[in-house]
Amino acid sequence: MEKIRLSKLMSEQGLCSRREADDFIAKGWVKVDGEIVSELGTKVLPTQKITLEKAAQAKQQGRVTILLNKPVGYVSGQAEEGHKPAILLLDAATRWEQDTAPHRFHRSQLLGLAPAGRLDIDSTGLLVLTQDGRIAKQLIGEDSPIEKEYLVRVQGKLVGNGLNLLNHGLSLDGKKLKPAKVSWQNEDQLRFILNEGKKRQIRRMCEMVGLKVTALKRVRIGKVRLGDLPQGQWRYLRADETF
């Protein structure tokens, strides 16, 4: 059995992100088979037992995850081409008044807060921003099984077997898309449930079957729903919620 880097194994086991793993190792907060390992680059066997010290667990518990109902006109991540990033919407005034989480908002919560998945500038709905590497990996990891659900308003005429193709049979950028669940909600709105998130995927899929997207809203990620959260407002992910 081949040894692998401890930080990589910690990330694969969902203990934390690789960056966090290096930080925890350097601080002496990681044990392998009960022994503290503090040297970066250490390799271990996949069968060895990894545990985090209480200090590392406390640091993780202090990290926040924020759910934002993103409006049109904001980009998910870094500012680009003069467009504002969604993080600028986060302050005490825009917190949803019905948020029941016990956290008090302070600016330090914006440090290291990053979007876990994209929502393009023309789209609205649920955007997750997190300080927690475990949640980021869960949502945007290569093999993430977590579903994302969208309501999509369209114009145009669907080609003959277009609905079947949307469900399975299209390729983007030379790669076959994973099976999706796509169904009509009403005469001009589709519901998409996807297990992947290629750039502008839904818009490009629709164009391939004769439809033009006029509005796109993400309403669910895994078990977490957008619900009644008003556009432009946000709330904390509660301790009893998981994706």
Burial class of residue 160 in the structure, from the number of CB atoms within 10 Å of its CB (0-12 exposed, 13-18 middle, 19+ buried):
exposed
Q: How far apart are CA 227 and CA 238, in angstroms?
A: 14
Total residues found in the chain within this entry = 243
From residue 90, how far is each of 59, 94, 127, 159 by CA, in Å? 22, 6, 12, 42
Question: CA-CA distance, 202 to 166, in Å (whole number)?
Answer: 9
Per DSSP (E only), the strands in 112-160 are 114-115, 124-130, 148-156
232 in Cβ contact with 124 (< 8 Å): no
In the block, which residue shows the tokens 């589709």? Answer: 190
Among candidate residues 22, 99, 120, 143, the one labeled active-site is 120
Of 88, 51, 97, 92, residue with least CA distance to 70: 88
Q: Which of 55, 63, 65 is nearest to 24 (CA)?
A: 55
Is residue 120 among the annotated active site residues?
Answer: yes
Q: What angle do CA 184, 193, 187 make, to 5 degrees?
A: 15
Which sequence positions are flagged as catalytic?
120
